[in-house]
Amino acid sequence: MLKETKIKVLENFYALDYVFFGKPATQLESCCDAILEEYMSVKGALMSVMIELYKLVDHAPQALEEQVDRNTLMSNAKRSAKIAREMCQKLVATQKGKADVKAQLREEMKNGNDTDISELVEYMIREKAFKLATDNLLIATTISESENYSEMNEWSGRIIEDSYKILRDNLVESALFVLSAI
């Protein structure tokens, strides 16, 4: 694996915290360490799937001209997270984004959910935004930095994609749970 790819994995690992919390998870004060531990475990598993994806698509990011220290890594993570959040805000505000949230709300109402509707809508919008931001951060940049993503259409690519989606959904759920416990 390329040095640049390894750095990208670390950058994305930290950027996810900035996407969800606006700061590193280590700086969060949660009521229960187990909640944060679950989030970190799922995030680690998602990064493992990303490594497999990088291998599959021949990840080839730009060569680094300089050494990357912790400060540079964290700065890049913040910048990546900011871009991902901005992109997801635009996507959630589209007609399709609004329609997806409405459809999800109708489904929840059919299931007899007794939750306050305004709280439920807020939760669904936040969940949708977090999923889109994660996809933008991890998948969109991977595709733009890869040389051969046609393998994604093969059996192994579909397995990695399914694994990614499951772990992404679990990570978003864990992040929302962490936010509710702060």
Q: What is the pLDDT of residues 38-82, one digit of tens each?
A: 999 999 999 999 999 999 998 888 777 778 889 999 999 999 999
Orientation of helix 33-56 relative to helix 155-181, angle to 10°:
160
What whole-number distance in Å separates Cα of residue 59 and Cα of residue 64?
14
Q: State the DSSP string of 81-98.
A: HHHHHHHHHHHHTSHHHH
User: How far are the Cα atoms of 40, 42, 49, 78 from residue 45, in angstroms, in the given order?
Assistant: 9, 5, 7, 21
Q: How many CB atoms lie within 10 A of CB 127?
A: 17
For 97-115, what is the mean pLDDT?
78
Cα angle, residue 5 at apex, residues 23 and 64 outer, rounded to 5°:
90
pLDDT computed for residue 113 by the predictor: 62
Give CA–CA dist 182/27, Å, rounded: 11
Predicted confidence (pLDDT) at residue 160 exceeds the cutoff of 80: yes
Distance from C-alpha of 157 to C-alpha of 163, rounded to nearest angstrom: 10
Indicate the pLDDT class of residue 1, thresholds 50, 70 and 90: low
Residue 154 pLDDT exceeds 70: yes
Question: What does the pLDDT read at residue 62?
Answer: 77
Tens digits of residue pLDDT in 117-150: 788 888 888 999 999 999 999 999 888 888 887 8
